[in-house]
Amino acid sequence: MIVSVAQAQLFFLVVTRVLAMLIHVPVLGGQSIPTQVRLAFGLMLSAVLIPWQPLPPGAEAMGLFGFAVAIGKEVLLGTLAGFAAELTFAVIVIAGEAMGLESGFSSGRVFNPSMGESGSAFNQLFVMVAMMFFFIIDGHHIFLIAMQKTFEVIPVNGTLPLQSLDALIRMTAQLIAAGIQLALPVMAALIFTDVALGLLARVAPQVQIFFLGLPLKVGVSMAALGLLVTMVLPAVGNLYKMVGNRMLILLGK
């Protein structure tokens, strides 16, 4: 089979958009995954998605300038759609950080290779559990289906969406609020613990509140998360299930 220059250019543009989306999902194309694996995975996905972009008979190859512009457009579209997926994972990080802020774990931080940033041990525990839940509910399938639909909404070298900025700002604000809402039960338990410790310090000044409060808040935070995990994980699952819709919304669907 002979591959024309136009077909090769089309395939390269598909690969560009796919890789631009893939690198924003920590569990599929994050920094912890070797570059060779990410590139091979992107090429494989592009080979699967290319039939959705058939070329008309006698299609001519793009010129150098037009091809460079098309590459820039595909990078922008892939980054825009991938950022919607990245925002969803950022909600998990925000919730974990908010939970661990007053839990006593914030004094020691460790590096999380999957997210490419450091966090408290409490945050790492919550993020790892949420990442595993992503695969349990087939969130990777949801993302891959949405990736394919982006080529239906905006074909290769299509018109850039003009209304994405307002949608991006609105979506970012909503997801930040969602992260805080996820952390509210644990944060409330820790606030009540601080109030109880404050009252104890007034009633019994001889009690060393600092040494008593640190292990107590660690235990309260872990117990609160354990009791509320059945409420938090379904909410996290709902966030994952909307990843595809968010990606398409930012592309103007």
Render each residue's pLDDT in the chain as its tens digit; 253 residues. Answer: 556 777 778 888 888 988 888 888 887 777 777 788 888 888 888 888 766 556 666 667 777 888 888 888 888 888 888 888 888 888 888 888 877 776 666 665 555 555 556 666 777 778 888 888 888 888 888 888 888 888 888 888 777 776 667 777 888 888 888 888 888 888 888 888 878 877 877 777 776 776 777 777 777 777 877 777 778 888 888 888 888 888 888 877 6
Write phi, then psi, for 109 (nearest 5 degrees): -120, 145
What are the angstrom distances between the C-alpha of 107 and each of 110, 121, 122, 128? 10, 10, 11, 20
Phi-psi region at 13: left, alpha or beta (left = phi > 0; alpha = psi -120 to 50): alpha
Per-residue pLDDT at 179 = 84
**How many other C-beta atoms are found inside a 10 Å radius of the C-beta of residue 81?**
29
Domain map (residue ranges) of the chain: 5-250
Token digits for 137?
A: 């509910």
C-alpha to C-alpha distance for 154 and 146, rounded to whole angstroms: 12
Per-residue pLDDT at 79 = 87
Per-residue pLDDT at 113 = 57
Per-residue pLDDT at 111 = 55
Phi-psi region at 213: left, alpha or beta (left = phi > 0; alpha = psi -120 to 50): alpha
Q: How far apart are the first and last CA of the chain?
A: 36
Beta strands in 108-238 (DSSP E): 109-112, 117-120
Per-residue pLDDT at 194 = 78
Per-residue pLDDT at 118 = 61
